[in-house]
A and B are shown apart, each in its own frame.
Chain A
Amino acid sequence: MKKKIVSIMLTAAMTATLLAGCGQAAAPAAEAPAAEAPATEEAAPADEAPAAEEEAAPADEAPAAEEEAAPADDTAAAADEGSVLNIQCWNEEFKSRVTDHYPGYEKVDDTTGKIGDVTVKWTITPTEGNAYQNHLDDILPTNAEAAADDKVDIFLVEADYALKYINADPAVAMSMDDLGITDADIADQYQYTKDIVTDANGALRGLSWQACSAGLIYNRDVAKEVLGTEEPDEVQEFVKDWDTFTKTAEDLKKAGYYVESSVNDSYRVYSNNVSKPWVDGTTIQIDPNIEKWVEDSKALVDAKETNTFELWGDDWNKGFYPEGKVFAYFGPAWLINFCMAADTEGSIANAGRWGLCVGPQSFYWGGTWICGAVGTDNPSLVKDIMLTMTTDKAVLKEIVEKDSDCVNSPSLLAELAADTSFGSEILGGQNPYQQLADGAEKVDMSNISDYDQGCNESFQTAMKDYFEGKVDYDKAVENFYTAVGEKYPELSH
């Protein structure tokens, strides 16, 4: 009976399975479409052989096979490469960066462009409802077998889930070695931006042009009133570590101010400074620094020194205006430049009354990473785009000037920091690059895991009930384990 059902299902999927089978025979490391391949195994044990072979084969074999197809020369678009460059993304950010800054890119229409003879096709899938990742999950594992013009060449990822694709086995993102990018090419980039896209074996599989290091953005008027100073270096003394931060919160409370808009503002700061990853093997572990966030935050909430708002909500926003009575937000340059209502009369940003200091611990927030897809038929163009967009200083400088991105280049940030003529109007004339560059240097992301997205989200959700007094700590932790267990069935605690 079981076999019968299998065969019925396989009939429907016959062609695909057969094709996948062929692909498997030709290139051992390219796995058949995940779902039906194991079903075949179930019905016919004979198929298990290639699977075993796969396990034995080192993960690097796939890119190695690709390399044979790839020409060795370094020119941007080699003549014998694919004629279509497919880029997968979730919004327009990278597209506008390439359109504006990549030499030789010609815009054809909103979703296509040309680089020389190669047509660039942008496919945008929104993040809502996990659609973007579902889409990648569908196409990346079988990318090598796709028709030449449909092969994904570049895909973008965010830090929260980057490792899911970086650590994929068999690989879906090309390593720098396979692309022919050397350590020297990318020496002038922050280490943390590499940590995020380095796989378990130490191979780097993505690059970013952004270094979204962040700091504590404080309201200068409140600082002056309560702390007696508005100078970044002096304010830093009042928030230099978490214990001082909580003490300052008390003073702020007495004067009628919230130290931060929400406990979720500081979560990122704590979680960027953990001493061990969320998951060890398959066991979930809660880092002491995360526990400290819970402890500190509970105290702050109980003392009504902050709230439990979700980020980006109408309540969280309130502190962008003086009436919101918020002392500080934790955030990077893009938050300051684009999200704090600088163009609205009456906002603190509009009056130029924010200041930036490093804060209790260094952290980063945001950023987009570029990955070359395994199976690409345009490896040298992919390489050139990655290098140009993330290491070409002229391009990076243009990006700073046009888009205000905080770029991934210590030397460029140092130049910007040294530029005394530069001052941000929103920050009351302060040049934030010194603080941002200092911060980026100290960010250490070596403790991220494949499960960070789910763990961080679920943890914050579960703890909100604890902060609000709806459940006790143990129950909140239990809810956290339940939520993570649903997302990642392989984990235990």
Chain B
Amino acid sequence: MDNRRIKTGASVTTRRVIAYIVLVLITFLCLFWFYILFVNATRSHSDMSRGFTLIPGGNALANWDSLMHSSQPVLLGMRNSLIISLSAAVLTTYFSTMTAYAIHAYEFKIRNAMFTFILAVMMIPTQVVALGFIRLMGKMNLMDTYIPLIIPAIAAPATFFYMKQYMESTLPMALLEAARIDGSGEFRTFNSIVLPLMKPAIAVQAIFAFVANWNNYFTPALVLTTDKKKTLPILIAQLRSADFLKFDMGQVYMMIAFSIFPVILVYLILSKHIVGGVAVGAVKG
């Protein structure tokens, strides 16, 4: 609605000013949380019981030190989280694109049925199958391994749906016909022609998958029991259920801050493909 009003009367300058004001406000809303996380990570546990403040405390090094010397394998946790999240992100994007390509590019008997089926299963709430899934993993002897956390990523209905929608608007069938005429095998066509074209969509879904896996607590907490295999969210939960002798919110916040950095890094790397893509378009004009 706002938009309509803006377009009819306002000059470019006015619109630009409004856009900047809104963007600055939104930026503030987005970054504010990181600032208070940072502030809290620099305060001591009992200092925080005094209440909230916007001024950083002087306890950052002490919190860092106590985190590094706590019995939680923090660095291992980060490695484990990286392994799981990266593998899951790669698998989920590659195979979802492949599944989407199968539905998009080929015509076979069960194509429509399959499409409907995948859309339908997308609606199954994850909580519903969670406990049954854990029981199944127990029976398959996969508890305390990374397989239940990585392999199921291959079948991600929502990612598939996005890829399918994206292909609809950006993947011309003519291109594939041309590849066939050139004698390219189907598998090669997929890997060398389709995948590169899907780059922005893959980047988007890779980020989402990475973040979702990075922050996932419920399933890993039930699957992983060996300390050395645990991921960061489990370690954070363990810090939070520490006994009163060891309970230290400063440490918890430091851990949360620490665990956010790799995600930001991965995000910044991948977001180039999305943000950069648009920028390239702009330069062209």
The answer on direct contact between A and B (beta carbons under 8 Å) is yes
Say yes or no: A334 contacts B50, CB within 8 Å.
no
Which chain B residue shows the least CB distance to A142? B138
Within 8 A of A (CB), among B51-71: 51-52, 71
Partner of A320, one of B49, B221, B227: B49
Residues from chain B with a CB closer than 8 A to the CB of A344 are 44, 46-47, 49-50
A403 at interface (Cβ–Cβ under 8 A)? yes
Say yes or no: A124 contacts B222, CB within 8 Å.
no
A236 at interface (Cβ–Cβ under 8 A)? no
* Given the contacts A16-B139, A339-B244, A403-B245, A128 and B71 also touching, CB distance less than 8 Å: no
* Given the contacts A131-B222, A314-B52, A124 and B227 also touching, CB distance less than 8 Å: yes
Residues from chain A with a CB closer than 8 A to the CB of B245 are 93, 96, 334, 338, 403
Give how many B residues have a beta carbon under 8 Å from the other chain's beta carbons: 35
Within 8 A of B (CB), among A328-342: 334-335, 338-339, 341-342
Q: Which of B47, B72, B139, B237 has the most chain A CB atoms inside 10 A of its CB? A: B139
Say yes or no: B135 contacts A129, CB within 8 Å.
no
For residue B128, give the distance in angstroms from its CB to the closest CB of chain A.
Answer: 15
Partner of A347, one of B46, B73, B135: B46
Say yes or no: B222 contacts A134, CB within 8 Å.
yes
For residue B78, give the distance in angstroms from its CB to the closest CB of chain A.
Answer: 16
Residues from chain A with a CB closer than 8 A to the CB of B170 are none
Residues from chain B with a CB closer than 8 A to the CB of A128 are 217, 221, 237, 240-241
For residue B247, give the distance in angstroms from its CB to the closest CB of chain A.
Answer: 8
Residues from chain B with a CB closer than 8 A to the CB of A335 are 244
Give how many A residues have a beta carbon under 8 Å from the other chain's beta carbons: 41
Complex CA distance for A318 and B241, rounded to whole angstroms = 22
Partner of B134, one of A91, A138, A320, A403: A138
Say yes or no: A110 contacts B227, CB within 8 Å.
yes
Residues from chain B with a CB closer than 8 A to the CB of A343 are 44, 46
- As a 0/1 sequence over residues 134 to 147 of chain B, the CB contacts with chain A under 8 angstroms (1 = contact) are 11101100000000
Complex CA distance for A134 and B225, rounded to whole angstroms = 12
Say yes or no: B136 contacts A12, CB within 8 Å.
yes
Complex CA distance for A125 and B227, rounded to whole angstroms = 9
Say yes or no: A92 contacts B240, CB within 8 Å.
no
Complex CA distance for A131 and B237, rounded to whole angstroms = 10
Complex CA distance for A314 and B46, rounded to whole angstroms = 11
Complex CA distance for A126 and B240, rounded to whole angstroms = 8
Complex CA distance for A346 and B51, rounded to whole angstroms = 13
B234 at interface (Cβ–Cβ under 8 A)? yes
Say yes or no: A124 contacts B49, CB within 8 Å.
no
Residues from chain B with a CB closer than 8 A to the CB of A341 are 46-47, 49-50
A90 at interface (Cβ–Cβ under 8 A)? yes
Which chain B residue shows the least CB distance to A319? B49
A111 at interface (Cβ–Cβ under 8 A)? yes
Say yes or no: B51 contacts A318, CB within 8 Å.
yes
For residue B248, give the distance in angstroms from its CB to the closest CB of chain A.
Answer: 10
Which chain B residue shows the least CB distance to A339? B244
* Given the contacts A35-B135, A343-B46, A129 and B217 also touching, CB distance less than 8 Å: yes
Say yes or no: B139 contacts A13, CB within 8 Å.
yes
* Given the contacts A111-B227, A344-B47, A334 and B244 also touching, CB distance less than 8 Å: yes
Complex CA distance for A131 and B238, rounded to whole angstroms = 11
* Given the contacts A110-B73, A111-B227, A125 and B221 also touching, CB distance less than 8 Å: yes
Partner of B242, one of A13, A91, A111: A91
On B, residues with C-beta under 8 Å from A are: 44, 46-47, 49-52, 71-73, 131, 134-136, 138-139, 217-218, 221-222, 225-228, 234, 237-238, 240-247
Further contacts, 19 of them, CB under 8 A, given A126-B240, A344-B49: A91-B241, A92-B242, A110-B71, A110-B72, A111-B226, A123-B227, A124-B238, A125-B225, A127-B241, A128-B221, A128-B240, A129-B237, A131-B221, A131-B237, A314-B51, A314-B52, A320-B49, A338-B244, A347-B46
Give 24 CB contacts A-B under 8 Å: A15-B139, A90-B241, A92-B71, A92-B243, A93-B243, A110-B72, A110-B73, A111-B228, A123-B226, A123-B227, A126-B221, A127-B237, A128-B237, A128-B241, A129-B217, A129-B221, A131-B222, A134-B222, A138-B135, A320-B49, A334-B245, A339-B244, A341-B50, A344-B49
